[in-house]
C-alpha cells in the first residue's frame, strides 16, 4: 500500500470513496457549465448534493481542494498539439458553437468602447487594457441622453438584424423557437411604435395601452422621426440631438411636462385595462409583455395634501444651503456645467471663515423665527378640527407652533428652531443634476421640500 493510500484510509477517504466523490461532482455540474472553466464550474457545484455518508458537504469540498492543489492546471505544448490535431481531424465534434450561429451584437456601452478604444489607448499608451476599459465605461456613463442616443440606435439596429438572422438560422436547422424570457429578465420597451407581434414571437395583449416615452428627450425624438427623411440611420440621431440642444430651457420643460402627463394617463389607462381581468390573468399579461404595474407616488400626494392655502413656506434651515443656493444662481453663466458649478460652490463654502459662516447661521435663525411667527398667525385662523388634523399630519412643525418654545429659542443663537446639517463644513450633495461624473470626488444632491422651497445640500 502506498503512502498516499495510507493517508486516505487514515483520514476516512479510500480509493472507492474518492471515486464516488468525483462521480458525484461530475453529475452535479449544471448542463450550462459543463464546458465552462473549472473556476466558474466550481461555483455552481452544490456540495449538499455531492456529499454522501459519512462525509459532510464541508468535508467533501475540503477534500476536493486538497486534490486540486496536487493537480497541474496548465498543459504542455505537446498536450495542446495533440488536442489541436484532434480538432483538425474532427472539427464538428470539437466545435462548441455552430459555425453559422449568428453573433449577438454589442450593447451601447460596448459600441462606445469599441469606437473610442484605439484613440484613448493612443493618448495613454502605458495604461493597462483593464484601466482603459474602466475609464471609457465611466465616460460613457457620464454622457447625456442625447449623446448616448446614437449608440443606443446602433445597438438596436444591430439587434434587429440579429433577430432576423436567428429566425433564419432556426428555420434552416429546424430548431425550436426561442424561449420566452422569464418575468425577472429585462424586455424590449413597449411604445406607440412597437408592433403588436414582436420579432421573437411575444404577442402584445389586445387593447393594452402603449408605454409613454421615458422622458422629454425621448418624446422629442419620437416627434422628430417624421422629419428625418433623407438622413442616414447614424446621421439623424445627431441631427435631432442638436435640435434638442437648440431648444430653450422653457421648451425642454414643456416636453418634460407633456411626458409626465402621458405617464399619468398611461397609468390610469393601464390600471383600468387590468381591472377587467382577474389577478392571475393580470399578472400573466404583465409578465408576458414585460411591463410593471404603475404605482401611485404616495410621497408626492402626501406633500401636496400637506400644503394648505395660505400656509407660509418653510425657509432653508442650514447656513450652507442659503449660501449655496445664492452662489449657484450667481455662477450659472460662468460655470454652465452643473458639476463644475457645484464643485466651485463647495470650495467657496469651505474657504469661508468661521465668522462668515456664523453670519449665514444668524440669517437662518432670523428666517426661521419669522416663519414661526407667520405660521402661528396663520394657524390661529384655522378651525379647531383643521388645527388638530394639521398637528397630526405635520408633527415636525409643532416646534414652530409653540410660542414659549420659540421665545426661548430667540434668546439662544439658533435654538431648537435651527437644525444644523452642516457642522459648519457639511458636504453638499445634488441628485437633481442629470450630468453626474463619477470621477468627480464631490457629488451633489439637491432635495426639494415644500414646493421646492427647502433645498438640502450634502457632499459625499
Q: Residue 350 domain-assigned?
A: yes
How far apart are the C-alpha atoms of 460 and 154, rounded to whole Å? 36
68 and 21 within one domain: yes
pLDDT digits (tens, 9 = 90+) for 31-53: 777 777 778 888 888 899 899 98
Residues 284 and 172 in one domain: no
Place of cell 401611485: 296
Q: pLDDT of 96-155, one tens digit each?
A: 667 788 888 999 999 999 999 999 889 889 988 889 999 999 999 988 888 888 899 999
**How much is the pTM?**
0.30
Beta bridge partners of 444: 430
pLDDT score recorded for residue 111: 92
The pLDDT score that the predictor gives to residue 72 is: 74
323 lies in the same domain as 432: yes
Q: What is the pLDDT of residues 153-169, one digit of tens each?
A: 999 999 989 989 888 88
At residue 403, the pLDDT reads 59
The backbone torsions φ and ψ at residue 459, rounded to the nearest 5 degrees and listed phi first, read -110, 135
**Contact (Cβ atoms closer than 8 angstroms) between residue 211 and residue 227:** no
Q: What is the pLDDT of residues 340-386, one digit of tens each?
A: 888 888 888 888 888 888 888 888 888 888 888 988 888 889 888 88
334 shares its domain with 224: no
Q: Same structural domain for residues 55 and 163?
A: no
| Residue 259 near residue 145, CB atoms below 8 Å | no
Domain end among 62, 96, 130: 96
**Between 293 and 43, the higher pLDDT residue:** 43
Residue 46 located in a structural domain: yes
Q: Is residue 189 part of a domain?
A: no
Q: Do 436 and 360 reside in the same domain of the chain?
A: yes
| pLDDT band of 333, cuts 50, 70, 90 | confident
Q: Residue 110's pLDDT is what?
A: 92
- For position 2, what pLDDT does the model report? 45
Q: Are residues 89 and 110 in the same domain?
A: no
Q: Which of 8-17, 23-32, 220-229 has the highest mean pLDDT?
A: 23-32
Shared-domain flag, residues 397 and 274: no
Nearest alpha-carbon partner for 339 in 249, 248, 245, 442 = 442
Please state the rounded mean pLDDT for residues 202-218: 73
Average pLDDT over residues 50-59: 90
CB contact at 8 A, 12 and 54: yes
Displacement of CA 186 from its chain's centroid (Å): 13
pLDDT score recorded for residue 233: 57
Give yes or no: residues 57 and 144 share one domain: no
Task: Note the pLDDT of residue 214.
Answer: 83
Both 268 and 246 in one domain: the answer is: yes
Query: What range does the domain containing 250 cover?
Result: 201-295
Q: Is the pLDDT of residue 251 over 60?
A: yes
Q: Based on the domain organization, do 164 and 208 belong to the same domain?
A: no
Q: Which residues pair with 445 in a beta bridge?
A: 429, 430
| In the chain, % of residues over pLDDT 90 | 6
- Domain CATH number, residue 109: 1.10.30.10
Residue 52 domain-assigned? Answer: yes
pLDDT in tens, 412-457: 444 443 444 333 333 343 433 343 333 333 333 333 333 443 334 4
For residues 420 and 358, is the Cβ–Cβ distance under 8 A? Answer: no
The answer to whether residue 191 is domain-embedded is: no
When the pLDDT of each residue in the chain is averaged and rounded to a whole number, the result is 74
Check whether residue 77 and residue 141 sit in a common domain.
Answer: no
pLDDT at 398 over 70: yes
Quick one: pLDDT at residue 437? 38
- What pLDDT score does 94 carry? 55
For the record, the C-alpha cell of 452 comes out as: 421646492
**Residue 192 is assigned to a structural domain of this protein:** no
**70 within some domain:** yes
> Of the residues 46, 73, 96, which one is the last residue of a structural domain?
96
- Number of domains within the chain: 4
**Least confidently predicted of 219-228, 263-272, 274-283:** 219-228
Interior CA angle at 169 toward 167 and 171, to 5°?
A: 70
Does residue 261 form part of some domain?
A: yes
Can you tell me the distance from the alpha carbon of 364 to that of 322, in angstroms, rounded to the nearest whole number? Answer: 8
- The 3-class SS string of 330-396 reads HCCCCCCCHHHHHHHHHHHHHHCCHHHHHHHHHHHHHHHHHHHHHHHHHHHCCCHHHHHHHHHHCHH
pLDDT in tens, 405-417: 444 444 444 444 3
Amino acid at each position: 500500500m502506498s503512502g498516499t493510500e495510507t493517508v486516505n484510509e487514515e483520514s476516512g477517504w479510500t480509493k472507492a470513496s474518492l471515486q464516488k466523490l468525483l462521480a458525484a461532482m461530475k453529475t452535479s455540474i449544471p448542463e450550462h457549465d459543463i464546458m465552462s472553466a473549472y473556476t466558474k464550474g466550481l461555483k455552481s457545484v452544490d456540495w449538499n448534493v455531492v456529499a454522501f455518508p459519512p462525509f459532510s458537504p464541508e468535508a467533501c469540498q475540503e477534500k476536493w481542494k486538497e486534490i486540486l492543489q496536487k493537480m497541474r492546471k496548465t498543459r504542455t505544448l505537446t498536450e495542446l498539439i495533440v488536442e489541436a490535431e484532434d480538432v483538425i481531424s474532427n472539427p464538428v465534434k470539437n466545435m462548441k458553437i455552430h459555425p453559422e450561429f449568428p453573433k449577438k451584437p454589442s450593447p451601447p456601452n460596448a459600441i462606445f468602447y469599441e469606437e473610442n478604444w484605439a484613440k484613448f489607448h493612443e493618448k495613454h499608451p502605458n495604461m493597462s487594457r483593464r484601466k482603459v476599459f474602466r475609464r471609457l465605461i465611466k465616460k460613457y456613463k457620464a454622457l447625456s441622453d442625447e449623446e448616448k442616443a446614437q449608440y443606443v440606435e446602433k445597438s438596436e439596429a444591430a439587434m434587429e438584424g440579429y433577430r432576423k438572422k436567428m429566425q433564419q438560422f432556426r428555420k434552416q436547422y429546424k430548431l425550436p423557437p426561442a424561449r420566452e424570457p422569464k418575468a425577472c429578465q429585462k424586455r424590449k420597451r413597449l411604445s406607440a411604435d412597437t408592433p403588436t407581434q414582436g420579432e421573437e414571437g411575444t404577442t402584445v395583449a389586445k387593447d393594452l395601452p402603449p408605454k409613454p416615452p421615458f422622458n422629454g428627450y425621448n418624446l422629442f425624438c419620437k416627434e422628430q422621426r417624421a422629419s428625418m427623411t433623407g438622413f442616414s440611420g447614424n446621421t439623424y440621431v445627431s441631427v435631432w440631438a442638436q435640435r434638442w440642444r437648440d431648444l430653450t430651457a422653457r421648451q425642454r420643460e414643456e416636453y418634460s411636462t407633456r411626458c409626465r402627463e402621458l405617464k399619468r394617463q398611461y397609468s390610469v389607462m393601464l390600471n383600468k385595462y387590468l381591472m377587467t381581468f382577474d389577478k392571475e390573468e393580470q399578472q400573466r399579461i404583465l409578465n408576458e409583455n414585460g411591463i410593471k404595474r404603475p404605482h401611485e407616488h404616495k410621497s408626492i400626494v402626501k406633500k401636496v395634501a400637506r400644503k394648505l392655502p395660505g400656509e407660509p413656506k418653510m425657509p432653508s434651515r442650514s447656513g450652507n444651503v442659503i449660501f449655496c443656493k445664492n452662489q449657484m444662481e450667481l455662477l450659472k453663466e460662468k460655470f454652465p456645467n452643473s458639476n463644475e458649478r457645484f464643485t466651485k460652490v463647495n470650495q467657496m463654502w469651505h474657504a469661508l471663515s468661521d465668522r462668515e459662516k456664523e453670519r449665514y447661521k444668524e440669517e437662518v435663525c432670523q428666517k426661521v423665527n419669522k416663519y414661526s411667527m407667520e405660521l402661528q398667525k396663520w394657524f390661529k385662523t384655522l378651525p379647531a378640527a383643521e388645527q388638530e388634523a394639521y398637528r397630526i399630519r405635520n408633527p415636525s412643525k409643532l416646534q414652530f407652533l409653540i410660542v414659549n418654545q420659540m421665545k426661548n429659542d430667540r434668546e439662544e443663537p439658533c435654538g431648537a428652531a435651527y437644525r444644523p446639517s452642516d457642522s459648519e463644513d457639511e458636504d453638499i450633495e445634488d441628485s437633481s443634476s442629470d450630468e453626474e461624473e463619477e470621477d468627480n470626488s464631490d457629488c451633489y444632491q439637491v432635495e426639494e421640500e415644500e414646493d421646492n422651497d427647502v433645498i438640502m445640500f450634502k457632499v459625499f
